[in-house]
Every structure is written in structure tokens, then in C-alpha cells.
């Protein structure tokens, strides 16, 4: 094996600014860090490049956040890290807790480095020391980092990144706007299964808590179980099913799919109506996910009058609903009641403008210039809050890391770049069904670069988020030189 990096960092893009500060600090301390934003090679396939980088690293640093728990990419990188732990005993997996989530199987078996309260220079330096020791396999003792030049990252807001004091409108405020999910919940009242699909970043301004709050209002007599499967690997399948049992308030766990079904059967036979909300179905090993889907299908058939199922997810859920084998999935029947995660409209954005500083004209302008992409909308709102007065909304989008990440994987790939440049010359990219037969359109759609719009004729069509995204994409890919 060629020269090894000291550490590969796995994270969700919402936290790139915090992670880049961490990576710079690690380099200051002599740690050779591999970070995708710094080390990607134009033209390389993304999945192959990430796997090769992990294989060429002594340690994997997994930045733990709720968004990471919902990420198929993080699940893939975690799978690879666990494989390296088994095949290379010297390889170290070091979890960094940035935001609390219980959705990772390692929490019971690995020591972690907790950065949640590392907001002061003293505490941050102590945690940085712990991380370096974890990467190098050393005991941290009572030491700290004394080197000059250590940066303190910007504080995290409720939604990740440098969000200041932007409120997240979560379920805790009890004010979730009911109209956003009315159609979905109407379907759920009259059917025993429904699904809602969310593009990457869809829950950035409109978090899952909104849907959960409104669901509890609409189904007050139901026993509601919100299930978020663990990120884990095949050898942790027992933890996967035990975690699901715990989220259904079943004590004693469950060692496998059959045991989970037995426990749930006992629960249902005790009476009452139960609503199971399953989000992040992409978490966990493939076989465990299929077994879980099988058990849910059997339970819903056996206890049809008692069981309602609501599935929430993205590309992986879409594959299960529309493409999975009928013999292993209840999800196929959810297609008739499938909905898209709603986009925040101007009236909803007003709830994030605590000081009522934005005019209706400004709010409308933000929704139009961003094409309703929640992360871009949040960036525009934050810029406006920090810089009172008129701001260059198009300039915010042009500088956005989100937009750069949409196109960066294709830079240097001549075939994909040529196709993308042709697509960037088109405002409308065909009907929505093109997502299922074109990998490029599919990736752009699920990453959030393009959106689905129902035209006046009732046909779902694909459009770029906005003209600024098209222009920026052409610049990043150097389409004028093609």
C-alpha cells in the first residue's frame, strides 16, 4: 500500500464549514487529513475515490450529526470503516459527536470525542487533543493543545453550518403549519400506508419535527412509534433490530427480524391502533432493511385495522417503493399514496424572520431566486440577517458551497461534463420519469439541483432550481470551452 493518510473525515455537507476548520487545525497539529473538498481528483468516480481514500487512511473520523444519520453516503463510508476495522486491526474508527443522535450502532462499543459543548477556546483545544490522540491510538490524559494558530469554528445554529440564531421551527414550538402536510395526512387517514419523499436538504428549513407534530395532532388516539433505524453493518444486525424494538417501547430488545415481529405481534394483540413512522429507511445493512420491510408487510396484513405505516425517505426509499422485489417489500403498495416533501413558501419563511425585518417583496424574491431550494433559502436569510439592507441574492447562490457540490463531482469527467453542459442550456429537462432511466438526472434531482414542477397540463416535469444555478454550473464545468 502507498503512503497512508492519518485520517479520513466523513461528514454531511451542511457542516462543511465546521469540518474544514477542524481539518485545518488537525493539519496544524501535524495530522495528514483527507477531506473530499480538498482532495478530490476531477474525473474520478465519487464512490471509487472515497473508498480508495479510506483504504489509504490509518483512521476514519466520523462526524456524527442527525443529518449524517440520514445519509446514504455516510452509511456507505461507515460500512467501509467497519470493514477496515475487521481486515486491518490497526485501523481506527473515531466518532466525533457534533450533534446528538442515537442512530449509530457504535455508541455502545466505541469511545467518542464530544464536541457539542466545545464553544470556548479552552474546551475546543481539549477536545482537539482528544481527537488527535484517538487518531494516533494514544491515551489523552489531562492534556490539551497548546500550539498557536488554532482556529475556533463558527458557532453552529439549529440547522447546521453557520446559522446564527435562525429558529428551526421544530416540533417543540408547537406551531407547525398544518396546511403543508394536509394532503399526506388525509391519505393516511383513509389508507393504511403512505410515503413522503424528500430530496437532499429538503428538511433544512422544514424539519421532520413539523410533520411529527402535525401527525400527533391528527392521530391523537393512535399509539405513535417513530422509528429511525441504526447506521450499522451486517455484524451489528442484532443491534439494528433491538434498536427498532426500543423505539417501539418494547423492552428487552430483539435479536433479529423474526424476534422483532414476535414482539410487535404481542404489542398489537394487546389492542389499540398503532401508527409506525419509519424515517431514514436507507440506514442499516441491506439484508436487515429487507427483513424489516418483510416483517412490516406481514404485520400490516395480519393487523390491517390496527396498523398504519408512514415512510419518510429519499432516493433509497424511492427505490424500495418503485423498484424492489414484491416478495420482500410492503413499500410497493405505498406508491398510490406517495407525496413529495413540501417546499417552504414565503408565508412560512416569515416564521424564520424573528425580527420581522424582511418585507413580503424580499421574501418572495428569496423564494424565486433560489427555486425554493431550502439550503439556498437559508443562506439568503442568514446573509440578510447579518447584513441589513439590500443584498445580492444571486451572489449568495453563486458563492454557495451547496451549488459547488452539485457540480464538483463531474469536473474533469469529459463525458459527464459534455452532457451536463447540454442540460444546462435547457430550462426544462423533460418529464419526471426521466429520473428513473437517466443516472445523471437522478443524481441531480435527489441532490436538490433540479426540482419537479407540475405544469398546467398536470404533467410532472424537471426544471433547474433557478437561472443562477445554471449559470454557475456552466462556470464550474467551463462549458464555454467545450
Say which residue the cell 489523552 belongs to: 140
401 and 475 inside one domain: yes
Question: In the chain, helix, strand, coil percent, each to 5?
Answer: 50, 15, 35
Q: Last residue of some domain: 322, 340, 358? A: 340
Domain limit, last residue, from 117, 136, 155? 136
pLDDT of residue 81 exceeding 50: yes
pLDDT of residue 193: 87
Tell me the average pLDDT across 188-209: 86
Which parts of 205-283 are beta strand (E)? Answer: 223-227, 274-279
What's the pLDDT score for residue 201? Answer: 85
| pLDDT tens digit sequence for 337-378 | 789 999 887 767 766 655 557 778 888 888 899 999 998 998
What is the percentage of the chain residues whose pLDDT exceeds 90? 28
- pLDDT, tens digit (0-9, with 9 covering 90-100), for 312-321: 888 877 877 6
Query: Cell 431514514 maps to which residue?
Result: 280
Lowest model confidence (mean pLDDT) among 5-14, 77-86, 344-353, 376-385: 344-353
Q: Give dist(CA 297, CA 193) in Å, integer.
A: 10
The residue that leads in pLDDT, 162 or 395, is 395
Mean local confidence (pLDDT), 22-48: 74
Q: Is the pLDDT of residue 257 over 50?
A: yes
**pTM for this prediction:** 0.77
**Residue at a domain's end among 340, 363, 386:** 340
pLDDT of 175 higher than 60: no
Between 64 and 323, name the one with better pLDDT: 64
Residue 359 domain flag: yes
Nearest to 330 by CA among 338, 321, 339: 321
pLDDT at res. 327: 47
35 within domain boundaries: yes
What's the average model confidence in pLDDT over 156-183?
A: 50
pLDDT at 291 over 60: yes
Residues 321 and 381 in one domain: no
Total domains, the chain? 3
The yes-or-no verdict on residue 165 having pLDDT over 50 is no
Residue pLDDT, tens place only, 216-256: 888 887 889 999 888 777 777 888 898 899 888 887 777 88
Query: pLDDT band for position 454 (50/70/90)?
Result: very high
Taking all residues of the chain, what is their mean pLDDT, rounded to a whole number?
A: 82
Same domain, 309 and 361: no
Which residue matches cell numbers 443491534? 239
pLDDT above 60 for 329: no
Residues 334 and 463 reside in one and the same domain: no
In this structure, the answer to whether residues 335 and 357 fall within a common structural domain is no
Extract long-range pairs of 266-272: CB within 8 Å, 24+ residues apart: 268/299, 268/302, 268/303, 268/306, 268/307, 272/223, 272/306
pLDDT at residue 44 is higher than 60: no
Residue 220, in any domain of the structure = yes
Q: CATH number of the domain that 246 lies in?
A: 3.40.50.300
What is the per-residue pLDDT for 99? 83
Q: Quick one: angle between helices 439-447 and 315-323, nearest 10? A: 130
The answer to whether position 183 is within a domain reads: yes
Quickly count: other Cβ atoms within 10 Å of residue 11's Cβ: 28
Say which residue, 474 or 378, is predicted with more confidence.
474
Q: Inform me whether the pLDDT recorded for 22 exceeds 70.
A: yes
pLDDT at residue 69 in the model: 65
For residues 327 and 354, state if they share a domain: no
Residues 333 and 209 in one domain: yes
Query: Would you state the pLDDT for residue 17?
Result: 83
Residue 39 pLDDT level (bands cut at 50, 70, 90): low
Given this model, what pLDDT does residue 161 score?
41
Bigger pLDDT: 472 or 289?
472
For residues 319 and 358, state if they share a domain. no
- 280 and 404 part of one domain: no
Same domain, 311 and 351: no
Does 109 fall in a domain?
A: yes
Sheet holding 113-114, edge to edge: 33-34, 7-10, 59-64, 92-97, 113-114
Residue 174 has what DSSP assignment?
A: S
Q: Please give the pLDDT value at position 463.
A: 96
Asked, for residue 1, whether it belongs to a domain, the answer is: no
Domain CATH code at residue 65: 3.40.50.10140
Q: Cell 457539542 belongs to which residue?
A: 116
The reply to whether 440 falls in a domain is: yes
- Are residues 192 and 117 both part of a single domain? no
Residue 24 has pLDDT above 50, yes or no: yes
pLDDT at res. 466: 94
Q: Is residue 156 part of a domain?
A: no
Full domain range(s) for residue 465: 346-481
The pLDDT of residue 169 = 39
Instruction: Give 429 or 1, the one with higher predicted confidence.
Output: 429
**Are 333 and 353 members of one domain?**
no
- Whether the CA torsion 473, 475, 480, 482 is positive or negative: it is negative
Q: What is the pLDDT of residues 386-434, one digit of tens each?
A: 777 778 999 999 988 889 889 988 887 889 899 999 999 999 999 998 8
Amino acid at each position: 500500500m502507498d503512503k497512508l493518510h492519518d485520517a479520513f473525515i466523513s461528514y454531511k455537507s451542511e457542516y462543511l464549514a465546521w469540518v474544514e476548520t477542524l481539518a485545518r487545525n488537525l493539519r496544524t497539529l501535524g495530522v495528514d487529513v483527507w477531506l473530499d473538498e480538498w482532495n478530490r481528483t476531477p474525473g474520478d468516480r465519487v464512490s471509487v475515490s472515497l473508498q480508495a481514500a479510506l483504504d489509504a487512511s490509518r483512521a476514519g473520523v466520523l462526524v456524527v450529526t442527525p443529518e449524517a444519520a440520514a445519509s446514504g453516503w455516510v452509511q456507505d463510508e461507515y460500512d467501509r470503516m467497519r470493514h477496515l476495522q475487521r481486515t486491518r486491526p490497526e485501523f481506527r474508527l473515531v466518532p466525533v459527536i457534533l450533534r446528538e443522535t442515537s442512530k449509530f450502532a457504535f455508541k455502545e462499543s466505541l469511545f467518542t470525542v464530544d464536541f457539542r459543548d466545545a464553544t470556548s477556546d479552552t474546551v475546543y483545544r481539549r477536545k482537539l487533543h482528544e481527537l488527535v490522540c484517538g487518531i494516533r491510538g494514544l491515551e489523552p490524559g489531562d492534556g490539551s493543545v497548546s500550539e498557536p494558530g488554532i482556529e475556533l469554528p463558527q458557532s453552529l445554529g439549529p440547522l447546521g453550518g453557520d446559522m446564527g440564531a435562525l429558529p428551526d421551527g421544530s416540533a417543540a414550538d408547537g406551531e407547525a403549519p398544518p396546511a403543508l402536510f394536509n394532503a399526506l395526512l388525509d391519505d393516511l387517514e383513509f389508507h393504511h400506508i403512505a410515503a413522503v419523499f424528500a430530496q437532499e436538504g429538503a428538511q433544512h428549513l422544514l424539519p421532520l419535527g413539523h410533520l411529527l407534530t402535525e401527525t400527533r395532532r391528527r392521530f391523537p388516539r393512535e399509539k405513535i412509534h417513530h422509528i429511525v433505524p441504526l447506521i450499522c453493518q451486517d455484524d451489528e444486525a442484532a443491534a439494528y433490530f433491538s434498536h427498532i424494538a426500543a423505539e417501539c417501547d418494547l423492552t428487552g430488545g430483539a435479536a433479529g427480524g423474526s424476534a422483532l415481529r414476535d414482539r410487535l405481534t404481542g404489542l398489537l394483540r394487546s389492542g389499540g391502533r398503532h401508527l409506525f413512522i419509519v424515517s431514514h429507511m436507507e440506514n442499516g445493512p441491506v439484508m436487515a432493511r429487507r427483513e424489516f420491510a418483510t416483517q412490516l408487510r406481514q404485520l400490516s396484513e395480519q393487523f390491517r385495522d390496527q396498523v398504519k405505516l408512514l415512510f419518510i425517505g429519499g432516493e433509497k426509499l424511492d427505490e424500495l417503493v418503485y423498484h424492489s422485489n414484491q416478495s420482500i417489500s410492503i413499500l410497493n403498495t405505498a406508491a398510490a399514496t406517495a407525496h413529495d416533501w413540501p417546499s417552504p413558501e414565503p408565508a412560512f419563511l416569515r416564521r424564520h424572520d424573528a425580527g420581522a425585518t424582511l418585507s413580503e417583496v424580499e421574501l418572495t424574491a428569496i423564494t424565486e431566486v433560489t427555486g425554493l431550494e431550502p439550503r439556498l433559502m437559508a443562506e439568503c436569510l442568514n446573509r440578510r440577517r447579518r447584513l441589513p439592507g439590500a443584498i445580492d441574492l444571486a451572489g449568495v447562490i453563486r458563492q454557495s458551497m451547496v451549488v459547488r457540490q452539485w457540480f464538483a463531482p463531474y469536473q474533469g469527467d469529459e463525458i459527464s461534463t459534455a452532457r451536463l453542459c447540454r442540460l444546462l442550456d435547457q430550462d426544462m429537462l423533460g418529464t419526471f420519469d426521466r429520473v428513473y432511466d437517466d443516472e445523471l438526472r437522478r443524481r441531480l434531482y435527489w441532490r436538490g439541483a433540479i426540482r419537479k414542477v407540475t405544469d398546467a397540463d398536470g404533467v410532472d416535469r424537471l426544471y433547474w432550481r433557478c437561472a443562477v444555478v445554471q449559470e454557475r454550473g456552466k462556470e464550474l464545468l467551463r462549458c464555454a470551452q467545450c
